[in-house]
Amino acid sequence: MANFFCDFRFLLLIAAVAFIYIQIRLFATQSQYADRLAEAVESENHCTSQMRLLIDQISMQQGQIVTLEDERKRSFEERLQLKALIQDLERKGLHQLTDKTQEPVAAVVIMACNRADYLERTIKSVLKYQTTVASKYPVFVSQDGSNPDVKNKALSYDRLTYMQHLDYAEVETERPGELIAYYKIARHYKWALDQLFYKHNFSRVIILEDDMEIAPDFFSYFEAAAILLDKDKTIMAVSSWNDNGQKQFVHDSYVLYRSDFFPGLGWMLTKSIWDELSPKWPKAYWDDWLRLKDNHKGRQFIRPEVCRTYNFGEHGSSMGQFFKQYLEPIKLNDIQIDWMSMDLSYLMEDNYVKYFADLIRKAKPVYGNDAVMKAYNVMGDVRIEYRDQSDFERIARQFGIFEEWKDGIPRTAYKGVVVFRYQTQRRIFLIASDSLKRLGI
């Protein structure tokens, strides 16, 4: 009996120890769960705090968006009001500057952007000679963008009409690395010419850039040229510029030429030509585009021997390309010529081929790689034949004239012939191998 009682107590002791162990484990587990629960509650409180912060930030941003939207609407309304004001100023200015009894010969538009000092020099030059023919040549300044100095400068003159081109559309270049400026320039040209031909209904427009001075007979020259444009539909445009018009290569201010190469830099075109060009106007490089054979379709351009415009724009979108070598030495005509009294019938297509061929026929042919040296010793006009573009560039380089070609045409060329003065009076004709045949010589 005593042994049984001892065994029973031993079992109770084991049971007590087991119970105590279980209680300890249970307490430890409860403590772990309590700690985890506290962490979860703390994490939940943190998430709630972050969510409230995000809600506050979103609410603040929504308020800012609403404010920006209101500002955008106000800005849009202000632009509309500004546009209406500019259009009203255009109408009033044009009404004051035109003569109801006389149809203008052409509108003159000065294309500007952000060079107020250049623009002022150009305006002063134009108005200096435009005063006596103001009703024939109403002057416009078309600004691309919102440069305030340019705008204020243009509006400070009451003898011209101000136009403003505001285009906020993003520019996408066709090739990486291209200058956006050339795309913006092309947009501006199309807009300005559409305005002048379709809104103001001019029959002709003379385009100048904001870095040009004009000659004393600039307006007389274009008045006579307008008659040529109307009579001869093989003439696409008339230019006041000669790419080889440097002082050493010109002599006679009375001489004009036809050219297959578009000169630009002070040029006039008609509404009928613009009707053709406007729908397909390029995104960029409009002047190179206009020189493509597919666009001028065999039509030609009138150009002077001595320039009627001078380009002083060393700084601009073209980065002063060619300025020192070709632009700065240009001779600007300095004598007054009454072009309306001149007989320009020799420039009509049928007459001109015979006229030009006769000039070449009288020139002495010079051959060989030393043709330039031989030309130096020849009295009178000289003609030198070139085989291809590289041969032309070699000869042109020796004389110092423009070597550049565009779409297979050298600058200033007519039927493959480039003509310029040499040693003051003599003409040099650089002639492509097939030019004599094309001219019937």
Catalytic residues, by residue number, are: 287
Q: How far apart are CA 241 and CA 305, in angstroms?
A: 8
Q: What is the 3-state secondary structure (H, E, C) of the chain?
A: CHHHHHHHHHHHHHHHHHHHHHHHHHHHHHHHHHHHHHHHHHHHHHHHHHHHHHHHHHHHHHHHHHHHHHHHHHHHHHHHHHHHHHHHHHHHHHHHHCCCCCCCCCEEEEEECCCHHHHHHHHHHHHHHHHHHCCCCCEEEEEECCCHHHHHHHHCCCCCEEEEECCCCCCCCCCCCCCHHHHHHHHHHHHHHHHHHHHCCCCEEEEEECCEEECCCHHHHHHHHHHHHHHCCCEEEEECCCCCCEHHHCCCCCCEEEECCCCCCCEEEEHHHHHHHHHHCCCCCHHHHHCCHHHHCCCEEEEECCECEEECCCCCCCCCCCHHHHHCCECECCCCCCHHHCCCHHHCHHHHHHHHHHHHHHCEEECCCCHHHHHHCCCCCEEEEECCHHHHHHHHHHHCCCCCEECCEECCCECCEEEEEECCCEEEEEEECCHHHHCCC
Q: How far apart are CA 372 and CA 377, in angstroms?
A: 9
Q: Are 171 and 183 in contact (CB under 8 A)?
A: yes
Q: How many CB atoms lie within 10 A of CB 309?
A: 28
**Surface-to-core class of residue 155, CB atoms within 10 Å of its CB (0-12 exposed, 13-18 middle, 19+ buried):** middle
Distance separating alpha carbons of residues 11 and 143, to the nearest angstrom:
109
- What value, to the nearest 5°, has the Cα angle with vertex 67 and ends 64 and 69? 110
Q: Output the CA torsion sign for 169, 170, 173, 174.
A: negative
